[in-house]
Amino acid sequence: LSSLGFMPTKAINGKGLVKLNGAKTLEDMVDRWESFNFDPIRESQVSRAMTRRYFQDLDTYAESDIVIVGAGSCGLSTAYMLGKARPDLKIAIIEASVSPGGGAWLGGQLFSAMVMRKPADAFLSDLGVPYEDEGSYVVVKHAALFTSTLLSKVLSFPNIKLFNATAVEDLITRPSDKGDGNVRIAGVVTNWTLVTMHHDDQSCMDPNTINAPLVISTTGHDGPFGAFCVKRLVSMNQIEKLGGMRGLDMNTAEDAIVKRTREVVPGLIVGGMELSEIDGANRMGPTFGAMALSGVKAAEEALKVFEQ
């Protein structure tokens, strides 16, 4: 078996505990395919195994400490830093698409390799993603290696739940503590993305909510689902207007995005390319260092809120 490159595995029982007694290893299966069979199951067990956990998660995360909107490279980097630093915080990630990863998982893979300018190599080293050093920048051999490693780490944190195929369609607000007519953000309104996309031709589709003292928005630049939270801030009169993303300039864009990662209104931190819309910053195209480091900074800003 080892010649096939398999290592003996440990089975995981229904409670998520490692169970060694009586569990088959891959070695047990070799050359025994004639007598092979799976343990029996009833279809409803599969349904219940999935839905019980999903609805338990909806219940658990209805009150979260932090909601991250968008599971692109910035949102996932933010989640990774927060998951490492604060295993005590309940963190929900809401991703409109079925597939997490945002642009890093989509266009980022078209030429396979992913470029990160230094000093973002520090993030890759922390994550354990190998790269080639090209002097002022580094190259990961495939963008999918970056995103899948980041995702696997994020999803392994017991205090982080990713709700994908779910869109944030509004923000929950409360009057600002200052009594100045402004608001602080106090959570998000969500819906399954397919429902969100059909508000014009279907009726009566009640959304769901998550209360949280802090929302971190990393929904990318404007598009069908992009820049969601900053656009909503304009329509609710919390910022006057958007600056609009400017043309491509890698050098100015990446510095600006990291530097401008901040709490834009009380309770709402914005990171990644969504910032380019609010501030009128340049885009950087296919270099991802600013997304990782904006995530590091967004996490740092979030930790300040919880240390107050």
Could you list the residues that contact ligand AHZ (CB under 6 A)?
69-75, 94-97, 102-104, 167-168, 218-221, 225-226, 228, 272-273, 283-285, 288, 291
96 vs 120, beta carbon nearer ligand AHZ: 96
Question: Looking at beta carbons only, is 120 or 167 nearer to ligand AHZ?
Answer: 167
Give SS3 for 87.
coil
Q: How far is the CB of 249 from ligand AHZ (least distance, A)?
A: 10
Q: Is 59 annotated as a binding residue?
A: no
Q: How far is the CB of 13 from ligand AHZ (least distance, A)?
A: 33
- State the nearest-atom distance from the C-beta of 147 to ligand AHZ, in Å: 10
Smallest gap from Cβ 18 to ligand AHZ, in A, equals: 33
Burial class (CB in 10 A: 0-12, 13-18, 19+), 234: middle
Strands 214-217, 66-69: pairing is parallel
Q: Which is nearer to ligand AHZ, 25 or 283 (CB)?
A: 283
The verdict on whether residue 74 carries a ligand-binding annotation is yes
Name the residue nearer to ligand AHZ (CB basis): 141 or 283. Answer: 283
Q: How far is the CB of 108 from ligand AHZ (least distance, A)?
A: 7
What is the enclosing helix (H) or strand (E) of 302?
Answer: helix 289-307
Q: Measured from the CB atom, is 94 or 186 closer to ligand AHZ?
A: 94
270 is in an annotated binding site: no
First-to-last C-alpha distance (Å) of the chain? 54
87 φ, ψ (degrees, to nearest 5):
-65, -10
Taking CB positions, which residue lies at the least distance from ligand AHZ? 72
Residue with tokens 């909107």: 69
Q: Tell me the DSSP string of 146-190.
A: HHHHHHHHHHHSTTEEEEESEEEEEEEEEE-TT-SS-EEEEEEEE
The contacts of residue 196 (CB under 8 Å, 6+ apart) are 96, 167, 169
Does 168 carry a binding-site annotation? yes
Pseudo-torsion of CA 129, 299, 173, 58, nearest 10°? 50
Q: Is 284 annotated as a binding residue?
A: yes
198 is annotated as contributing to ligand binding: no
Binding-site positions read 74, 95-96, 103, 168, 206, 221, 273, 283-285
Residue list for the binding site for substrate: 74, 95-96, 103, 168, 206, 221, 273, 283-285
